[in-house]
Structure 1
Amino acid sequence: MKEIRLREIGVLFYRIFLAFVFYQFARLLFWIFNKDLIKIDSISEYLRLAYHGTAFDTTAILYVNALFILASLLPLLLNTSKGYQTFLFWLYFITNGIAYSLNFGDFIYYKFSQARLTMAAMSVAQNESNLVKVFLISVLEHPFVIIWFVALMALWIFLYQRIKILPRKAQVKWIYFVSTIITLSLVATLVVGGIRGDFKHSTRPINLVDANRHIKNPLQANVVLNSVFSFFRTLTTNNFKEVHFVDDAFIEKHIRPYKFYPREAPAEKPNVVIFILESFSKEYSGAFNKNNKIENFVSYTPFLDSLAQHSLIATNAYANGRQSIHGMSSVLAGIPALKDAFTGSPYANQKIQSIVSVSNEMGYDTSFFHGAPNGSMGFLGFGNILGFKNYYGKNEYNNDADFDGIWGIWDEPFFQYFANTISAKKSPFMATMFSVSSHHPFKIPAKYEGKFPKGTLEIHAPIGYTDFALKRFFETAKTKQWFRNTIFVVVADHTNQVAYPEYEKAMNRAAVPILFYSPNPEYNLHGEIAEPAQQMDIYPTLADLMGYNKRIRSWGRSLVSAQKEEYFIVTSTGIEQFIIGNYIYLFNGQDVTGIYAKEDLALEKNLLGKINSTETKLGTLKARAWCQDYMDRVINRKLH
C-alpha cells in the first residue's frame, strides 16, 4: 500500500483544504470591512452566501494551485525528500500568497469600485503613474488590512507545517508509477470540473454573473465571489475600453441612445409572454423564407408558420450575439454581445433598464422559465440582475421523469407547466420562456420518434418537436382568461446548423425569426417588416405597446412606432458588423475594415477604398459613434 502514495495524496488534500478555510476567512473580513455597503440581515444569511461562495473559491483555488497539485503527484521518486518538500512549500505559498492578497486589496478597493477586482482594474491602472503612492497611502490609512493578511498567512503556514511528509523510497517501482498515473488522471478530472464550477454537461464554466443566482440583493454577489475568481475569469476577456471618436452631440443625433414612444395607454395593461427558442434559426421556418427563393425549401415549423399568418413578423432579423446568454441580454435588455460578451464581462453586475425593469415599474409580475437545472447558462444570475421576481427551473418543475438526461425538462411538458403556472398569476404579468430541447445532441422524446420530419440536419426533428410544444402551449393558453389580452413574442436566441447555401452567408449566420402576436386587435400586430430588424428591437417595441410613456435606454427601435427611425443593426463574429442604411460596415473597435452593399450578405465585395460617398463617410462615423456610446455606457455603468 505504501507504493500507492496514500499519505502523500491525503496531505495534498489537506493542503488544498487549508486554502478553502482561509478563503472563507477572507470572505468574512471582506464583508466586515464593507458591511455598511453590503446589507446582510442575519448570521444564517451570511452563512448561506458563504456556502454558495465555495463554488467560486474552488475555481480560484484550483487555478492558483494547478502547478502545485501536478508537482505534488508527479512520479519522480524524490517527492518525499526534504529538498523537494521545501520546493513544494515555497511554490505553494508564493502562488497562494500573491493570489490571496488580491482579496485583501478588495477590502479597500471595493469601497471605490463597488465591484470585485477584475482585469478592468488593470486597464485603468496601466494609465496611472502614482500607483505606488496610492498603495502606500492606502496601507497607512488601513493598517489592519496588512495586519490581518500577515496574521492569516502566518497561521496558514503554521497549519501547513503541522502535517508533514516523511522521506521514503518506493520498493516496487511499477506499482508506484502505475498508481501515480491513475491518481493523476482522477485528480486532473476533479481539477477541470472544479475550475469549470460543475461537472454537468448542461453548464458552461461559471462566471461573475452566476454569483447572482444566490442573492436577494445584487450587492450580495460580491460576498459570494472572491477577488481571485473575478480576476482570473476576466483575465483574457476584457476588450472593453473607452474610445472617443465623436462628440456627444453626434451621438445624441445619430445614435439616439434614449427613445421615447408616446402612446395612449391601453385601458387594460397587456400581459407579455416572450418565447426565446433555443437555436431556432430563421432558416427552419417557411413563413420567414417566402421571399428567399430557396430551391426545394422545406419548413420544419408548421405551427409557427400558421401563427405567422396572424402576426407581425420581421423577415429580415438578426441575433445580436452568438450564445444563449447573449440572446437573453439582447432580447430582454437590448444589450448585444460584441467581441467579448457583456454578460461575462466585469461590468455585468450593474443596474440595467430592460423590459423586466419597465414591467416591474408598471406593476407587472415578472417571471423567467427555463427547464434546465437552475442556474444553467447563467440565466438565473443574469435574471436576478435584470430584476425578475420569480425564476422557474428544473427544481421548481420537480419531476425528473420528464428530464431529457442532458439539458433539462423536455419542451412539451415544460411549456405546459409554463402555461399553467402563469395562469395562476394575477394580471398583468410578463413571463419569459427559454426553451431547451432544440439543442445538441438533438434528441426528441422516445414516444415521438418518427413523428417529426428528420430532414437533412440532426436539428430538424428537434425543431419540429419544439414547434409542436409551442402549438400545445397555445392550445392550453387559448382556454385561459388571460390569453386575449396578451402580447406574445417568439424569437430565437441564436442560429445553429445550416442546410442551405443562403444561410452559409456571413450575415445570415445570425438570421433569426422575430414574431409578435396578440389575439387582441387593439395592438394591430399583423403584417411583415421587411426592413432589417434585430433582437434589440424587441424591448423598445414591447415598451411602446405596453404604453410605458417614458424614455427608455435602447440601441434598438420600436418596430410598431409611427416615428420614422433609422435602423442600426449590430452583429458580431469577433469583429462587429453594422447594417446602416444601404451598407454593411465591419468594425474592429478602432477602424472600419470593410464596407459592403446591404444585399451582399456573403460579404464578398469589399467596397472600402472603392466608394467614398457622403453616406459611407457618415456610416463609418456612426459605427464608431455606436461603439463609443456602448463602451461608455457599459464601463461607466450607464445602462439605466
Structure 2
Amino acid sequence: MVCFWIKTYWAYQTKFNLGVTGGVQEAILILNPLPMGLLLFGIALYFRGKKSYWIMMIIDLVASLWLFANMLYYREFSDFLSLGIIKSSGSVSNNLGLSIMEIIQPSDFLVFLDVIVIAALLIFKVLKIDKRKTNFKIAGIVTLLAVVLFAVDFSASEKNRSQLLTRTFDNNYIVKYLGINFYAGYNAYQTYKESSTRANASSNDLKSVLAYLKKNRATSNVSYFGKAKGKNVFIFHLESFQQFLINYKVDGKEVTPNINKFYSDSNTLSFDNFFNQVGQGKTSDAETMLENSLFGLPSGSVMTQYGTSNTFQALPAILDQRGYTTAAFHGDVGSFWNRDNTYKSWGYKYFFDDDYYKQKTDYSVGYGLKDKIFLKQAANYIQQLPQPFYAKLITVTNHYPYELDKQNQSIPKTTTGDKTVDGYVQTAHYLDQAFGEFISYLKKTGLYNNSMIVVYGDHYGISNNHKKAIAQLLGKKSVTSYDLAMFQKVPFMIHMNGLKGGINHTYGGEIDVMPTLEDLLGINSSNMIQLGNDLLSKDRNQTVAFRDGDFVSPTYTKVGSKVYDSSGNLIKTLTSEQKEQVDTMQSHTDKVLSLSDKIITGDLLRFYTPSGFKKVNKSQYSYKYSDGIKNLKEDQKKKTSLIEENGGKSTADLFKTDAPELK
C-alpha cells in the first residue's frame, strides 16, 4: 500500500499537470490514492494464503498498467484515458500508436518497480506466505477505513470544488481530487449508463423529433437569407458577460465602451431580449447550443459526457463541407470541457489551445491566457487561415472569481459590498479593451470588411445567489424572480458591412444562433435536426426555454410556480385564457427539452444523415502542435490567407495592445 501510495503521488506531481494550487488541494492530492488503494488491496484480505498474495499482485499490476497508460496518453493529449476512447480505436491510435516509442520516457517504468521488487521478494521467499486463517474482522476494518477516508476526501473536494461529479467539465479535476483509480470506476459507470441508453435507442425514436420539427420550424427571412454568403465568420465569445453591462457606467465611466459602440453600430444587428439557456455545463452548454442547436443536459455537460462518442452535425462541419476553414482558439488546456475530443466530433479542422501560445508566469489568470495576450497571439494563426474561414475565439479573463492584477485594473470596482460581484466590472472592462484591440486589428487588415462578426455572452457572470448586489447594480431596492429571469439576458450581436442593423426586440436564446447564422450564410437547413429557429424569422415561436423548465416570452414569464406578465407583475390568479396560453408555452418548453435530451442520450443523429452532409470522420483531425503547424503550411498553398493577400508578409505588427506584460 505504501509503495502504491508513493508511486501514485509521484506520478501526479511529475507526469501530469493537474493544476494543484494551495495547501488544501495539495493535502487532497496526497490523500486521494489511499481510499481506493485500501479498498482494492483490501479485497485480498478476504482470501487465504497464496490466493491473497496473487490477488494483491494482480491488482497492483493492473493499477500500474492503468497509471502507465494514462501517463503516455496524457503526454500526447493532455487528458486521461476513458473507456469511450479505448473503445474508439481511431481516437486512441490517432498519432499515439505510431509514436509510442517516442512518447515513452525511461522514468515512466518506475511505476512497475514495486511490482517487480515485491514479486522478486516473494519468488525468492524473502517475503514468506502467511497461511493463517483469514481474519474477516481485520479485512472489514480495512474496507471500512477505505470508505471513511473516501468520505473525508470527497467532502473536502466538494468544499473546494462544488458539483465535482455533476459538473464534470475536466477529467483533470476528477483525478486531482478523487484519484486516477476512482476516475477509472467513475468513467466506467458513466460509459455504462450512456451505452445502455444508446443501445436501446433506434431510428424509430427520431419520428417524434422529425414530427416536431415539421410542425415548428420557422421560415427564413428572405430579406436576410444569404446576405453573408462567402464571408469569413468570427464567433467572439464574451466569457460570463451579461446584457446589463451594455452602456453600464461606474463613477460616470463606461465599463464596456468598445462593445457599446459595436452594439449600436448601424451595421450591427443587436438583440436585447437574448437569453443564456445554460445548465450545469455553463460555457460548454453555450457552445453546444451555439453550434448544434441542441440543449445541454439536465446535469453534467454534453461535451464531457458525449462529445467523444456521439454523432453530431455541427456548424463547423457544415461549413467545412462548404469550403470553409474551421478553427477554434482558446488559451487554456485542450482537455477543458473535453474540447480536444468534442471539437473533432463537431468538425473543427484546427484547435489552437494553450500549446500554441507563448506562456509566461504573468500571462495567465485563472482559466488561461489573459485576453489581450491571447488575442494578439491568436492573430498570428488567424492570418494563416485560408479564406473563407470560421473562427471561434473564447476569452477567459472575465471569469469567476473576477480577479485582475493591479497593473491591468483601469476602472474602479462597484461598491455593493459583495466581494464576488464588485470585481466583475474590472474584468469586464479588461475584456472590452481586448475586444477593442481585436476589432482594430480586423479593420487594419481588411478582415473587418470581409467578415460576419458574431459576438455573444455565454452565460451569467453573477449568479442569482447575490440578490442584494444585483439589486444595487440594477438600481432597485430588491429583485423579484422576474427580475432575476431578465438578468439572464446576454448580448448577441451580428455585424457585417452592408447589413441592415439596429436593435431587434425578438425573444430568443442560444439555441437559435445556429439556424440564424445558417440563413445569413445562405445555407438551407430545413432538413437538419435543429431545435432552435432563425431569430430573424417573422413567424418564430418566441418562448425561450430555460434548462430547468422555466421560460420567458414577450407575454408571460414562468419561474417555478410563479407567472409574471410582460411588465413583471406577478399574476396571482390566472384566467382560463391566460392559463391556456401559459400551459401551451410550458408544453413547448417541456417538449423541446425532452427531445433534445432524447437526441443526445440516444445518439439519434447516427440514424439520420441529411442530404448534402457527410458524416464527420474524427480520425482525420489532430490538434497536436506539430500537426497543426504542418497543416497550416499545407493550407498556405491555397493562396487565400490574409498573409498571402499581404504579399507573404505577416500582419502581426498591425495588432496593437497595451498589455503591460508585453512591454
Which amino acid letter does the alignment assign opposite residue 614 of structure 1?
E
What does 1:230-241 correspond to in 2, within 5 Å? Answer: 230-233=187-190
The 3 A distance-change label for structure 1 pair 445 and 281 is same
2:427 alignment partner AA: P
Distance 1:508 1:90 in 2: 59
Contact 1:371–1:409 (Cα < 8 Å) also in 2: yes
Name the counterpart of 1:330: 289
Please, which of 259, 265, 270 is the counterpart of residue 313 of structure 1?
A: 270
Match for residue 584 of structure 1 among 541, 553, 557: 557
Kindly provide the amino acid, as one letter, of the partner of residue 510 in structure 1: Q
Q: Which residue of 1 aligns with 2:486?
A: 508
Root mean square deviation of aligned Cα? 5.4
Instruction: State whether residues 238 and 340 of structure 1, in contact with CA within 8 Å, keep that contact through their aligned partners in structure 2.
Output: no
Deviation at 1:11, TM superposition (A): 5.8
Q: Distance in 2 between matches of 1:72 and 1:619?
A: 52
Structure 1 contact 255–626 (Cα < 8 Å) conserved: no
| Alpha-carbon distance, 1:236 to partner | 9.1
Deviations along 1:232-279, one digit per CA (max 9) or x if unpaired, are 3468999989999x96786245543x8767676459611110111111
Give yes or no for the alignment of 1:427 onto 2:387: yes
Measured in 1, the distance between the counterparts of 2:284 and 2:437 equals: 26
Aligned 8 A contact 2:170 2:304 in 1: no
CA contact (8 A) 1:208 1:344 kept: no
Which residue of the other structure, out of 524, 527, 533, is the alignment partner of 1:549?
524
CA contact (8 A) 1:579 1:598 kept: no
Q: In 1, are the aligned partners of 2:303 and 2:337 still within 8 Å (CA)?
A: no
Residue 638 of structure 1, CA deviation: 3.3
**How far did 1:534 drift?**
0.8
- Residues in 2 aligned to 1:571 and 1:320: alpha-carbon distance in whole angstroms: 5
What is the aligned residue count?
Answer: 482
Would you say the 8 A contact 1:334–1:556 is kept in 2?
yes
2:326 aligned partner, one-letter code: T
Please tell me whether the aligned partners of residues 227 and 522 of structure 2 are also in contact (alpha carbons under 8 angstroms): yes
**Unmatched runs of 5 consecutive residues or more in structure 2:** 19-29, 66-81, 86-113, 131-145, 172-182, 416-421, 610-663
Shift of 1:83: 8.0
Secondary structure of 1:483's partner? helix
1:616 corresponds to 2:582: yes
Q: Which residue of 2 aligns with 1:367?
A: 327
With over 3 angstroms needed to count, the CA separation of the structure-2 counterparts of 1:554 and 1:261, relative to structure 1, is: farther
Q: 5+ residue gaps in structure 1?
A: 1-7, 21-50, 55-61, 101-114, 119-155, 169-183, 212-225, 290-294, 587-592
TM-score (norm 2): 0.60
**One of 243, 252, 258 as aligned partner of 1:282:** 243
Moved more, 424-433 or 335-344: 335-344
Partner residue in 1 for 2:597:
631
Q: Percent identity, aligned pairs only? A: 16
Does 2:298 align with 1:339? yes
Residue 534 of structure 1 is aligned with which of 509, 513, 528?
Answer: 509
1:487 aligned counterpart, secondary structure: strand
Q: 1:358 touches 1:548 (CA, 8 Å); kept in 2?
A: no
Cα deviation, 1:314-361, whole Å, max 9, x if unaligned, reads 111111214221121122222222422451575443222222122112
Which residue is 1:597 aligned to?
Answer: 564
One-letter amino acid of the structure 1 residue matched with residue 285 of structure 2: H
Does structure 2 conserve the Cα–Cα contact (< 8 Å) formed by 1:492 and 1:514? yes
Q: Which residue of 1 aligns with 2:402?
A: 442
Partners of 1:71 and 1:441 in 2: CA distance: 37
Mapped pair 1:484 → 2:449: yes
Instruction: State the Cα distance separating 1:478 from its structure 2 match.
Output: 0.3
Summarize deviations over 1:521-542 as a string: whole Å, max 9, x none.
Answer: 0x32x11121212112221111
Counterparts of 1:124-203 in structure 2 under 5 Å?
none
Distance 2:542 2:234 in 1: 25
Closer, same or farther: CA 252–368 of 1 in aligned 2, 3 Å? closer
What are the residue-to-residue correspondences of 1:37-436 with 2, within 5 Å? 67-70=35-38, 228-233=185-190, 251-252=212-213, 254-256=215-217, 265=226, 269-286=230-247, 299-310=254-265, 311-322=268-279, 323-343=282-302, 346-348=305-307, 349-400=309-360, 403-436=363-396
Q: Quote how far apart the aligned CAs of 1:10 are.
A: 1.9
Q: Are 2:210 and 2:529, in contact at CA under 8 Å, matched by a contact in 1? A: no
Alignment deviations for residues 160-197 of structure 1 (CA, whole Å, 9 cap, x no partner) = 866566799xxxxxxxxxxxxxxx9xx999x98xx99x
Change (3 A) 1:352 1:609: farther
Tell me, yes or no, if the aligned pair for 2:46 and 2:52 is still in contact at 8 Å. no
SS of 1:553's equivalent?
coil
Deviations 1:535-591 (CA, angstroms, capped at 9, x unpaired)? 122211111111113423322222234x4211231223xx322335633346xxxxx
Residue type of the alignment partner of 2:287: M
How far apart are residue 510 of structure 1 and its match? Answer: 2.4
Conserved? CA contact 2:284–2:303, under 8 Å = no
SS in 2 for 1:357: helix
Residue 398 of structure 1 deviates from its aligned partner by 2.3
Deviates further, 548-557 or 440-449: 440-449
Q: Which residue of 2 aligns with 1:175?
A: none
